[in-house]
């Protein structure tokens, strides 16, 4: 089927009481592994890419690759811009027909974050989902991270959501980007944020969180959970192991197919942990 809007993934997941995984792609193998897993589990999903990873190919290239692979799939999937740090990135993703957008000016002051996110809302048609971040998620992705991480202040949530008109809110409640095995959600804070928010929540940093915590997020108004590092590590590990086993390995296609399977397995496990009944 064709790519669906992020709004459709949100409403479908809300109706089914499911949590959408949001898996970052970079290249063909990652995209194939993600969609192979989605087909096995049948849960609506976001495939996403941040500008740091678009640098390898381009927004149109990512769109074509994802849309082509999805043509033979019946599960609803949206293509999402992850951590759009500028209005230029939002413009480029919309021009390439992405169906869901994140604007991220969360490191700026509250007022500046509202101003940037409001400008992104004005650019983003209502049927395309808009995510913005309040509080600043710590850790690093692709060697990039905030200078100052800060948790989400529940008192700021209603005003931010209303001023911007966001469709989903990314929160900083103990979650950390990147390889962060000791990251833990503060569920008391998450509950306060949920109670203050009229829109569903997004948790970034899915790779570092334990399964036991991921499995509880649906109860806390979370509709989207981002996972990137685990997939990247699965791909790099597959190639590393192949080279370690045989320094003369030259079958790129065989190792690439193995990488697709290892990414598929990581994604399938994550979707099932997020949705134990799926």
Interaction site with ligand 13P (CB under 6 A): 24, 82-83, 141, 177-178, 204-208, 226-230
Separation of alpha carbons 87 and 137, rounded Å: 20
Nearer to ligand 13P, 22 or 242 (CB): 22
Q: How far is the CB of 179 from ligand 13P (least distance, A)?
A: 7
Separation of alpha carbons 220 and 70, rounded Å: 30
Whether residue 8 contacts residue 78, with contact meaning beta carbons closer than 8 Å, is answered with yes
DSSP 202: E
Separation of alpha carbons 231 and 78, rounded Å: 18
Q: How far is the CB of 252 from ligand 13P (least distance, A)?
A: 26
Separation of alpha carbons 91 and 159, rounded Å: 25
Separation of alpha carbons 149 and 139, rounded Å: 8
Nearer to ligand 13P, 57 or 163 (CB): 57
Q: How far is the CB of 251 from ligand 13P (least distance, A)?
A: 29
Separation of alpha carbons 194 and 234, rounded Å: 33
Nearer to ligand 13P, 225 or 242 (CB): 225
Q: How far apart are the first and last CA of the chain?
A: 21
Question: In what helix (H) or strand (E) does residue 169 lie, and over which residues does it extend?
Answer: strand 168-171
What number of CA atoms fall less than 13 Å from residue 155's CA on the CB side? 0
Q: How far is the CB of 175 from ligand 13P (least distance, A)?
A: 8
3-state class (DSSP) for residue 11: helix
Nearer to ligand 13P, 23 or 63 (CB): 23
Q: How far is the CB of 246 from ligand 13P (least distance, A)?
A: 30
Nearer to ligand 13P, 194 or 232 (CB): 232
Which positions are annotated as active-site residues? 82
């Amino acid at each position: 089927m064709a790519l669906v809007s992020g709004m459709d993934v949100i409403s479908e997941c809300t109706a089914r009481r499911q949590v959408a995984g949001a898996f970052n792609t970079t290249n063909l193998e990652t995209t194939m592994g993600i969609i192979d897993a989605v087909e096995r589990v049948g849960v609506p999903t976001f495939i996403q890419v941040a500008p740091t990873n678009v640098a390898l190919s381009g927004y149109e290239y990512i769109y074509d690759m994802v849309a082509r692979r999805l043509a033979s799939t019946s599960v609803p999937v949206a293509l999402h811009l992850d951590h759009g740090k500028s209005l230029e990135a939002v413009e480029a993703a919309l021009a390439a027909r992405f169906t869901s957008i994140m604007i991220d000016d969360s490191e700026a002051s509250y007022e500046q974050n509202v101003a940037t996110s409001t400008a992104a809302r004005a650019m983003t048609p209502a049927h395309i989902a808009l995510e913005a971040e309040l509080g600043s998620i710590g850790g690093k992705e692709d060697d990039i991270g905030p200078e100052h991480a800060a948790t989400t202040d529940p008192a700021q949530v209603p005003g931010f959501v209303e001023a911007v008109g966001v469709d989903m809110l990314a929160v900083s409640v103990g979650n950390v980007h990147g390889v962060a095995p000791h990251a833990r959600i503060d569920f008391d804070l998450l509950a306060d944020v949920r109670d203050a928010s009229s829109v569903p929540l997004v948790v970034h940093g899915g790779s570092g969180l334990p399964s036991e915590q991921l499995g509880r997020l649906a109860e806390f108004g979370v509709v989207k959970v981002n996972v990137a590092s685990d997939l990247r590590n699965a791909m790099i590990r597959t190639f590393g192991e192949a080279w370690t086993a045989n320094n003369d390995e030259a079958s790129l296609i065989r190792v690439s197919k193995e990488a697709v399977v290892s990414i598929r397995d990581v994604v399938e496990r994550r979707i099932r942990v997020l949705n134990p009944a799926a």
